[in-house]
Amino acid sequence: MSYILSTSTQTAENCYTQTEIQNLVDKVFPLKAHEKKRLMPIFEHANIKERQFSSCLSWYEQTHSLKERNDLYQTSAVDYCEQAIGKCLGNSAFLSNSIPAQSIDHIIFISSTGIATPTLDTYLIDKLGCKDTVKRTPIFGLGCAGGTSGIAKAHEYLKGAPESNVLIVCVELCSLTFQLDDSSVSNFVGTALFGDGASAVLMAGETSSLLKHRTSAVPKVEHISTKTKPHSQSVMGWRVVDTGFEVVFNKSIPNLVRRFWSSHIQDFLSSNGWTVEELPFLVAHPGGKKVLEAYEEVLNVPESALTFSRNILRDHGNMSSPTVHFVLDQAMRSKPKRKTRSIMASLGPGFTSELVSLEWS
């Protein structure tokens, strides 16, 4: 088993209301007026109040090359990650003492909105002063599933190295993928949902010396599961073009929750001997309003079970991989009692479902 000792999040510095973003899209999106009018309700019905971007709104009124976007990604992503990690390792809400970076044995770095070789975790290792033997697992392409997948991969590592500590870092600058000349519905939907942010999660094995620093019950991970739907690569992802990444969204995603994800989570609950009634809340990635509604329908749970997810969607939008860690942060700050059970869930390109069991211990 493994334990989640601390979390923290970092948003981008430019905060805009959904109305401000909608007005910009109305001004610049390459569609005829009647077509935009037909699609504009997507903004109004998204249940998003505001989002944070790494660039000011005027930046999105101009075309940009892949290089220009990627340069911005590299600079801002490292900064956001460094801030998220610093807050995670020194988070007094969860830890009795700040954790030195030298205590980290393995960094799992997850991002899908920019490219760097060497990957950005190498810059973070230098900035944080990590030991030179720290293991590195950079992962690209998991998209919205990345936050939960990172927890699962850390758990697998810690089962074999129970004395170790793993730092999972996610960062996405989804707004940089907006394509001024892309008139697709996917691009329009992306502008109504996406935001920018970073997260950090500290996990420890069952014999780690860091366990003594927890100030209250923390989530214990015992069970993980991944399920990928065959021949589903077109459901979501990026299409790489000369001007950067073009978003791919298939309108079938909520229905896939009802069919594909439904069987996955029911099998997961059954194999662990858990029931839905035991779960007071879910740590679910808020991919969008319709996805959250599909979760509720599949599990037959009340709206309150997804309060944390709705809060994050409302205040930040969908930031891809870090978003589920924002939900986790809220759940942990609510200080659940010992033996409280929950499930962390994310869906991403592949089309892949990631599940992790959480039990406060």
Residue 321, token pair as written in the block: 């991989």
User: What does the alpha-carbon distance between residue 137 and residue 316 come to, in Å, rounded to a whole number?
Assistant: 27
- Of 255, 207, 191, the closest CA to residue 229 belongs to 255
Q: Which long-range contacts (CB under 8 A, 24 or more apart) does 334-340 make?
A: 334/308, 335/216, 335/217, 336/217, 336/280, 336/360, 337/217, 338/217, 340/217, 340/280
- Of 193, 164, 161, 143, the closest CA to residue 42 belongs to 193
Q: Which of the residues 88, 144, 170, 174 is marked catalytic?
A: 144
144 is catalytic: yes
| 259 φ, ψ (degrees, to nearest 5) | -100, -60
- Of 204, 183, 23, the closest CA to residue 106 belongs to 204
Residue 193, token pair as written in the block: 């949902």
User: What does the alpha-carbon distance between residue 314 and residue 237 come to, in Å, rounded to a whole number?
Assistant: 23
- Of 317, 315, 309, 277, the closest CA to residue 293 belongs to 309
DSSP assignment of 227-273, as one string? EE-TT-TTSEEEEEETTEEEEEE-TTHHHHIIIIIHHHHHHHHHHHT
Residue 214, token pair as written in the block: 């927890």
- Which amino acids are annotated catalytic? 144
